[in-house]
Structure 1
Amino acid sequence: MTLTNRIQNLMQALCQEFPERQDRLQLAFLAAINDEPFYLYGRTGSGKNFMINRLLAAFKKPRFIEMGSRPQEIPGSIDDYDVILFKGFNPIDDATKECVRNALQKRKHTTLILSSDVRPENAMGRADIVDEITLTICMPDNLSSESLCMLLQNYSLSEDFKAPEEYTISEEEKTTWADEIQKIALSTETMAIIGKLSDLCIQNAIYVPISKWLSLANIARTIAFFNGRNQTTFSDTLFLGTPIWGRSTSNNSIVESFIDIVKSVILKDLANVIATTYDADTLYRKVKGMLNSSNNLYETKEFNGEPCISYRITVAGEQTPLYVPLHYVETVEDFNPYNELRKIEKNVRCNFHGTSSCTISINSTVKSVGLRNNNSRNENSAPAKFEDFATLPTYILRENDPEVAKKKRIELEACQKEAQTQMEQQAKILRSLRDLYQSNKTFRNDLFCNLEIFDKIQADLSDIFNTINGVATKLKETLELYNSASKN
């Protein structure tokens, strides 16, 4: 039996009849393997004592002492114990705080558990130990109805639970593993994720001491070690995206940003192309417009950096200029023209309906006040209801102009080359995304993999793939459109 199989069987045994809390027990186990202190928070009846009993059952003959809520001294040396539990921790007096502080400072190879129904930031803040606790593990208040029914049917109240002896961990093994865990290399991905998390903490004024970063890195190493790897992967860091950080404000900032941080690291080679998805729809419309339009030469004026048709309309007694980009002439799509401020005029909608005459509609709310009225430019107003207003012709300087035909031919060839180049680039991106998604799938069955975060990351990768695939499909349609017209 491999070590991975053994630990997997051990965790399955420990998590029996403990629904929807397995990830908390796994975190507690990882902390105990590394002798890290953790704060266990939950309301009465949330399963804190049950979890501690299961955690202790993972080890052979653990030396354990429970400290009550009343102030008392730890008998003997702290290192005489493998686990010290401060049950019902509430630092309402100096003696309790001093006892915990001494234990945190003097311990060498002892796991300290602070179990309480007092919110972590309150209890640890009053005791001034928040930066010395490696993990905060919060028990959920409720069970889903399905899990509750299953628990009621199968749960036994036996306090004599014992994990199968062949799976439990001796002190000697734990010591040996500690040396092996230190040999696990932190991958470039792991270091990048931790680095970006550190930057996030600095930006949000979240203080995380170096000692805590070292402890968290060791937990990532431990996950890799139990999965039989000699180097960490991004999946070994997913526990960092859970509410382990003590203060609720810290948890919120880190949890909200964590998935984006991981994606930015695993997609680092594709970051630029994904951040600015190629606009294949615009290229398609441009090609289609040039292929379906005439070669007429229209009267235009340069406006906002492009040739435009100039119109004037009178709304509520005031004459207002509008500027329509030339490339919309003879197309069939709705669009907003420019106004005299060189901005998109959202209260006016135009459409040429495949001809050279422009149909103009205006927002019904500006009919009585005009386009220049401040109220008409309020972008936070209700959705616009457009009404037909006018149909204005476009002045043709010359029909079937050879220069226009030549220019369109050159532009079409340039569009064809661009579509072909982009097709190749998008295909390369799709292959990279597919390979990344497939390689990541192997981590889903890993020990201690946070499935909720992992599945969200994979779902996001799938969405990105579908978006890029949509771009590639539209580029293919553009090339087919061009090739079909060339044959004719």
Structure 2
Amino acid sequence: MTLKERIAKLMGELTAGIPEREYCIQLAFLTMIIGEPFYIYGRSGSGKAIVLDRLVAAFKNANPIKIGRRQQEVPAMLNDYDIVLFLSYDPSNENMKNWVQIGLQDRGRTPLIVSGDVRPEEALTRGDIIDKLALTVSLPDSISPESLCTLLTSQDDVTATNINPELTVSKEEFDKWDEEFRKIAFSQDSLTMIGKLAELCDKNNIYVSIKKWLVLSKLAKAAAFFNGRTETSLMDTSFLGTSIWGRSVANNVLTEGYKKIAVEILLKDIPETLTERYDADNLLRRIKRILFTTNNSYDTREYAGEICVSYKINIAGESTPIYVPLRYIETDEDFNPYNELRQVEKRIRCNFHNTTSCSVAIDSSIKGVGLRTNTLRTNSPTFKSGKFEDYATLPTYILIENDPNVIAQKKAEAEEIRKEINEVMCKESNHLTRLREIYRDLKKNKDELFCNQQLFDEILNQIKDIFDATANIIGKIKEAHEMLAGKKTQA
């Protein structure tokens, strides 16, 4: 039996019959193995006592000491014990608070667990120990109905601690493995993750000491060691994307940040897939305009960087200009025109309905006050339009029908689009191939030891979503190619 197989079986026995707490137990075990202290939080009845009993049982012939609220004093030599547990920690209890401080100072490498039902942010801050503990392990407050039914129908006694002695960790192994962890190299992906999380902490005024980063890096190395690797992988750092940070603000920022950074690292060779993607819908619109609109020339002017038809409309007795881009004439698409400030006017909606006459609908909020009211507020990202009402239909003046210049221009545009299609298809196809490889490689890590499965699935699904979006872009590019090819064949 390899070490990885042995530890996997040990994790299976430690977590057996305790649903939805598996990763909490794995992370707690890993933290104990590297000899670092942590806080385990859980409401009354969440299973803390069972979890603690099993964690102790993971160590062969362990000699633990349990210190509770009624303890009169802390033994002078805590390192005479294999595991130190402070139970029912309450920062308002001065004796308990002092004992924990003493324990953290005198324990040596002895694993130390602080357990309580006081929320981490309050317990660790009031107790002045938040930066002295490696992390926080938070047990879920409840259990899902499905898991509850499984638990109730189980014939096993979940309070029993039955761990195969051959799987447990001896004192000699505990000491030996500490040296092995130090030999594990840090991969560039792992370093990038920690570096970017540290930047995120700086931006959000979240203090994490250098000592704590060193401890967390040791956790990643331990995970890599038990997975049989000599170098950490990105998934060995998955615990950094969970609620280990003690404070709720830090947890919120860093758990969301981890997922975003992880995807950036995985797609570092194709960063374009994370930026604004190629607009295949716009490609189809341009082709449809070339193929299915007339070759007429219209009375236009250049405005806001493009060729527009200008109109004047009267709203609430106020004459106001609007500018409609030429590209929408003879199409069937809702759009917002430009206003006199050269901004997209979200309070007006237009559509040509495949004709040369522009139908105009206005937001009911400006019907009685005019278009110039609250223009700045309207163009803010948070603006939400109200109910649109049909207002007018405005004709477009045709200068020349079937204009040879328009015909020549469309032909030139079609040739440019053909070149564009070839270039973009090649680029997006390469992206699709690489995304498929990344997804497959990542999926192989699903069953790695100490990998947070929920977080892993979220990251995997993000990669899949980007893959699907790329496949959708390619599908529309193919459609565009076929439309142009069909027109060329007809010609």
TM-score w.r.t. length of structure 2: 0.93
The counterpart of 1:475, out of the listed 474, 477, 485, is 477
In 1: Cα distance, 2:463 partner to 2:284 partner: 26
Match of 2:271 in 1: 271
- The residue type equivalent to 2:387 in the other structure is A
- Is 1:362–1:388's contact at 8 Å kept on the other side of the alignment? yes
Match of 2:466 in 1: 464
Match of 1:420 in 2: 422
Structure-2 change in CA distance of 1:78 and 1:362 (3 Å)? closer
Report SS of the residue matched to 1:132: coil
Match of 2:433 in 1: 431
Report SS of the residue matched to 1:35: coil
Structure-2 change in CA distance of 1:46 and 1:378 (3 Å)? same
The counterpart of 2:444, out of the listed 442, 445, 449, is 442
* Mapping of residues 250-265 of structure 1, within 5 Å: 250-265=250-265
Structure-2 change in CA distance of 1:478 and 1:56 (3 Å)? same
Give a deviation string over 1:382-437, Cα, whole Å, max 9, x none: 53223152241x32222222222222211111111112111111111111111100
In 2: Cα distance, 1:121 partner to 1:346 partner: 44
- Tell me the CA shift for residue 81 of structure 1: 1.3
- Tell me the CA shift for residue 456 of structure 1: 0.5
Structure-2 change in CA distance of 1:331 and 1:93 (3 Å)? closer
- Tell me the CA shift for residue 302 of structure 1: 1.6
Q: What CA RMSD, in Å, does the superposition of the two structures yield over aligned residues?
A: 2.2
- The residue type equivalent to 1:445 in the other structure is D
Please state if 1:150 is matched with 2:153: no
In 2: Cα distance, 1:345 partner to 1:161 partner: 68
* Mapping of residues 273-292 of structure 1, within 5 Å: 273-292=273-292
- Tell me the CA shift for residue 19 of structure 1: 1.6
- The residue type equivalent to 1:390 in the other structure is T
Match of 1:334 in 2: 334
Match of 1:385 in 2: 388
In 1: Cα distance, 2:153 partner to 2:477 partner: 57
- Tell me the CA shift for residue 83 of structure 1: 0.3
Report SS of the residue matched to 2:85: strand
- Tell me the CA shift for residue 233 of structure 1: 1.1
Please state if 1:47 is matched with 2:50: no
Structure 2: where are the runs of 5+ without partners?
none
- Tell me the CA shift for residue 364 of structure 1: 4.8
In 2: Cα distance, 1:158 partner to 1:382 partner: 56
Report SS of the residue matched to 2:86: strand
TM-score w.r.t. length of structure 1: 0.94
- Is 1:364–1:387's contact at 8 Å kept on the other side of the alignment? no
- Is 1:371–1:377's contact at 8 Å kept on the other side of the alignment? no
- Is 2:364–2:386's contact at 8 Å kept on the other side of the alignment? no
Give a deviation string over 1:42-72, Cα, whole Å, max 9, x none: 1222111111110111111112111121354
In 1: Cα distance, 2:367 partner to 2:198 partner: 55
* Mapping of residues 70-469 of structure 1, within 5 Å: 70-154=70-154, 156-157=156-157, 161-374=161-374, 378=378, 380=383, 383-392=386-395, 394-469=396-471
Give a deviation string over 1:259-316, Cα, whole Å, max 9, x none: 1121122222222342111111112101110122222222221212222222223334
Query: Higher mean Cα deviation, 359-368 or 167-176?
Result: 359-368
Report SS of the residue matched to 2:53: helix
In 2: Cα distance, 1:170 partner to 1:376 partner: 69
Structure 1: where are the runs of 5+ without partners?
none
In 2: Cα distance, 1:274 partner to 1:250 partner: 25
In 2: Cα distance, 1:257 partner to 1:351 partner: 41
- Tell me the CA shift for residue 158 of structure 1: 8.0
Report SS of the residue matched to 2:269: helix
Report SS of the residue matched to 1:475: helix
Structure-2 change in CA distance of 1:92 and 1:317 (3 Å)? closer
In 2: Cα distance, 1:381 partner to 1:425 partner: 36
Structure-2 change in CA distance of 1:140 and 1:160 (3 Å)? closer
Report SS of the residue matched to 1:309: strand
Identity %: 46
- Tell me the CA shift for residue 36 of structure 1: 0.9
- The residue type equivalent to 2:52 in the other structure is I
Query: Higher mean Cα deviation, 424-433 or 85-94?
Result: 85-94
Give the paired residue count: 487
- Tell me the CA shift for residue 94 of structure 1: 4.4
- The residue type equivalent to 2:410 in the other structure is K
